Amino acid sequence: MNYTFQFGPLLNYLPQVVSGLWLTLLLSFVGIFGGIALGVASAVLSTSPWKPGRLLVRIYVEVTRNTPLLVQIFVIFFGLPNIGIRLSPLASVFIALVFNNGGYVAEIVRGGIEATHRSQVEAAESLGMTYFQTLRFVILPPALEKVFTPIVSQCVLLMLSTSLVSAIGVEDLTGAAMIASSETFRTMEIYLVIAVVYVVLNFVFRGVLNIAGLMIFTRSRRRLLGRA
């Protein structure tokens, strides 16, 4: 093998890569927080006494978890125009990312809710708390704290999955790399650089989300301070 690495030609594409990085961050932000909001709402509905709501969430979760994200993007971007709904590539991927992440988060949070001991619910009911008061003050806070670590892992996976949006022409980080690769033919160099960027983003996202968790959940913060 007589391959010479040349990273110099890639400097001309630095503005596109930076622009793609910012778009990746935006896509990740919307997908993560939109997905968490949708997932928590779906988890609450899936554990509610309303049977049609539970069935609806079950179908949503099964569809989300048993179809690839890329197929979901294609259905929204290429499929919806057939029934008269036309969306821009960016709007399509925003919807797909929130939809996908919401399904996974819903199942994670549902597990946390169902892990709540029945005695806590009975104590809340004995105090005259309504169903929604019990949910808000007794069930959801400890449930979310229990499952926060898998939620963080799922959100990091979503960030990495944003690379799929380049398949419909969205110039995220991977999309910018594809353009640079096709024009310079330095495929090895550009994708090595992009891989390193994704690794750094992985640690950054985990760190930021874990710090946010310590700020939100006081018991976790107290345990951490107690160990220190």
- Residue 64's pLDDT is 94
- Judged against a pLDDT cut of 60, whether residue 52 lies above it is answered with yes
Highest mean pLDDT among 17-26, 44-53, 106-115, 129-138: 17-26
Counting Cα atoms < 13 Å in the Cβ hemisphere of 140 gives 19
The more confidently predicted of residues 8 and 34 is 34
- Would you say how long the chain is, in residues? 228
- Residue 20's pLDDT is 94
pLDDT band at 218 (very low <50, low <70, confident <90, very high): low
CA nearest 139: which of 46, 31, 62? 46
Q: State the Cα–Cα distance between residues 217 and 207, nearest whole angstrom.
A: 15
The 3-state DSSP class for residue 225 equals: helix
Q: Which CATH number is 11-227's, of 1.10.287.3510, 1.10.3720.10, 3.50.40.10, 1.10.1660.10?
A: 1.10.3720.10
pLDDT band at 224 (very low <50, low <70, confident <90, very high): very low
pLDDT band at 53 (very low <50, low <70, confident <90, very high): confident
Percent of the chain residues past pLDDT 90, beyond the cut:
59
Prediction pTM value: 0.89
CB-CB contact of 45 with 56 (8 Å): yes
- Residue 48's pLDDT is 82
